Structure 1
C-alpha cells in the first residue's frame, strides 16, 4: 500500500521488512507512524540497527512490531516510549483520513474513525466506551499532534487554498507558510492570491488535504509542481482578475497557451519566461522518469 512506500521514502536508512502485507492498516495513521519513526531515528544516533517488521491495526489501535539491536538501554526505552505514544494517539485519529476520531464498533469490528467515516462502507458505527478509550495517563487534548488535527466538521467549514505552495523561509519567522489562492476566508476576497500565517501542522496524507496555521485551519485544493505553478501564477496575475473557484490558475490547462500569453503581454522579460519554460520542461522530464516512462 502507499503507506509503507511513503515511510521507506522518508526514512531510507531505517530497516524495513519486505514481507507481503507489512502494513495492514489504512493511510490515516501515516502521520502517527512518521512521528514514531522520527523519534526512533533520533534515538538510533550514533548507531545500531532498527527494522520495522509489521504495521497493523489490532483491537482498533495501531500496533507496530520492530527489532532493535546494538543500541544503549536509554535509546531502546525512548523508542519503546515513542511506540506507546503512537498507539495511544491512534485511538484518537481516524484510521481512514487522519482527522480527529474515536473508536467505533461496526457489528463487532472495532475501528477508529471520524464522524464522516463512522457511517460508510463498514455500515454505521457505534462509539465504543470502554478500556480502549483510556491509554494510561495519555490526554489527546494535551498532545499537540492530536489536538491540532481537525474534526470532520472543522474540515468541512474551513476555507480552501488552491494552487498552494509551501514557502520554507517565511518572513513571519523560521517556520514555513503557504502561498495560494484563497476561497471562503472572510478577510480575503475569493480568488485572491496571498499567504498564510506560519504552519503549525500539515496533513501527512499524500497529497495532503489540510493544514493548520497559527490562525486558521485550511482545506488544501489542487497542487502544482513549482515550475508549473510559477507559470500559472504569472499568467493569472497578468490577467488582472481574481481566480474563479474551480478554474485552473492562469486560465488554461495548457502550459503552452500560458507561455504564449506571457510573451504576448510584454510585461515580463523574455529571459524570465525562458527560465520558467526550461524549469517546466525539466520538471516534466523528471516526472516522466519517476512514472517509469
Structure 2
C-alpha cells in the first residue's frame, strides 16, 4: 500500500482534500501516478469535476478508476489517453523500485519487476514474452519517461553522489542540476565536491535513489537538510581534503563541533556562521 500526500496543492483542479491517497501498489509506480495526475489536472483546468476513486495493481499493470463530469469532450479524451499511457508505462517500470522492469509470472501472480527484484520474496519469475495487445503500438524506448529510467545493471555501475543538493537558483527556463561529493566519476577524484550537468529525470521515490542528467546516470547517497549540508560543506572545505568513502562530510555527525571549529578558524564571517546555525536549529525544531 502506497500513501501519496500533498495532492491538493499539487493538483488544484482535481478536487483532492488534505487526506493522502491510498494506492494499492508499491512505491515504484509513484512517478507514473503523478504523471497521470499532472495530465488530468491540466485537462480539468477549464472546469468540471474529477474524482479519483481507486488506484491499484491489476493483472500486473496499473489501473486507475475515476469519474469526471461537466467537462468538454477533448478534456475527457485527454484524461483517458493519459490513463492508457500510465497503464502502458506500468508494464515497463518495476513496481517495487521504479527502475526499468518487465512483466513476470510468479506461479500465477503477475508482477512487473526489474532484474534486481526478480528472485526476491516471490521467487523467480518467468518473463512475459510478446505484445500485451495485438494492436499495441506503445514503445517504451520511444517514451522518454521510461527510456530514461535505469536498468538494474546500469544502476549498479553508476557513480554515487553523497550529500547531494538540487540547485534551486538556476536561471529561469534552465533545468536544475545537483551538487554533491562524487565517488566513481572518472573526471573527479573520489570524495571531491562538484556538480552534475542539467537534470533529465530524477527518481520519484522518497528519498530518490537515482538521477539521470545530460551526461549520464548517478546513484544518490545520503541527503542532508539544506542548513545542515551547508555547515558540512564548509567544515569539510576547512579540512582541505576530499571526503573519505564511508565518512560523512565534515568528518562526523557532531554539527555543534563543526560550528565551533568554523568559528575558531576565522575563515568565515561570524554573521554567516550565525545565519547557518540559526537555520540549522530551525531545521531541527521542525524535523
Output one character per residue of 1:215-270: Cα deviation in whole Å (capped at 9) or x when no partner.
Answer: 11000000011111101100001111000111111111011111011111110010
**1:45-84 CA-partner distances (Å, limit 9, x unpaired):** 1322221111111111000011112211111110100000
State the partner residue of 2:109: 109
Tell me if the contact between 2:3 and 2:20 (Cα under 8 Å) persists in the aligned partners: no
What's the CA shift for 1:169? Answer: 3.6
Unaligned runs of 5+ in 1: 288-293
Partner of 2:224: 224
The residue number in structure 2 matching 1:290 is none
After TM superposition, the structure 1 = structure 2 runs for residues 14-93 of structure 1, keeping only pairs within 5 Å, are 14-16=14-16, 22-93=22-93
| Most deviating of 21-30 and 259-268 | 21-30
- After TM superposition, give the deviation of residue 285 of structure 1 in Å: 1.6
TM-score normalised by length of structure 1: 0.92
Measured in 1, the distance between the counterparts of 2:17 and 2:118 equals 32
State the alpha-carbon separation in 1 of the partners of residues 245 and 84 from structure 2.
Answer: 44
Q: Which residue of 2 aligns with 1:250?
A: 250
Aligned residue in 2 for 1:149: 149
Question: What secondary structure sits across from 1:103 in the alignment?
Answer: strand
SS of equivalent residue, structure 2 residue 50: strand
Measure the CA separation in 2 of the matches of 1:246 and 1:13.
Answer: 45
Residues 60 and 135 of structure 1, relative CA distance in 2, 3 Å threshold? farther
Report the number of matched residues: 287
SS of 1:43 mapped into structure 2: helix
Change (3 A) 1:236 1:186: same
Contact 2:90 2:112 in 1 (8 A): yes
- Structure 2, unmatched stretches of 5+, are none
Aligned counterpart, 1:276? 276
Give 1:208's aligned residue. Answer: 208
- Matched residue of 2:230: which SS? helix
* Closer/same/farther in 2, CA of residues 156 and 9 from structure 1, 3 Å limit: farther
Distance 1:73 1:13, change over 3 A: closer
1:189 aligns with 2:180: no
For 2:20 and 2:238, the matched residues in 1 are separated by 52
In 2: Cα distance, 1:156 partner to 1:133 partner: 33
- Is the 8 Å Cα contact of residues 23 and 54 (structure 2) preserved in structure 1? yes
Q: Name the stretch that deviates more: 241-250 or 12-21.
A: 12-21
Query: Whole-Å Cα distance in 2 between the matches of residues 180 and 250 of structure 1?
Result: 13
- The answer as to 2:158 corresponding to 1:127 is no
**More deviation, 173-182/17-26:** 17-26
CA deviations over 1:151-177 (Å, ceiling 9, x no partner): 000000000000000003447970000
Q: Which moved more, 1:219-228 or 1:129-138?
A: 129-138
Q: Does 1:167 align with 2:171?
A: no
Change over 3 Å in CA distance of 1:219–1:8 after alignment to 2: farther
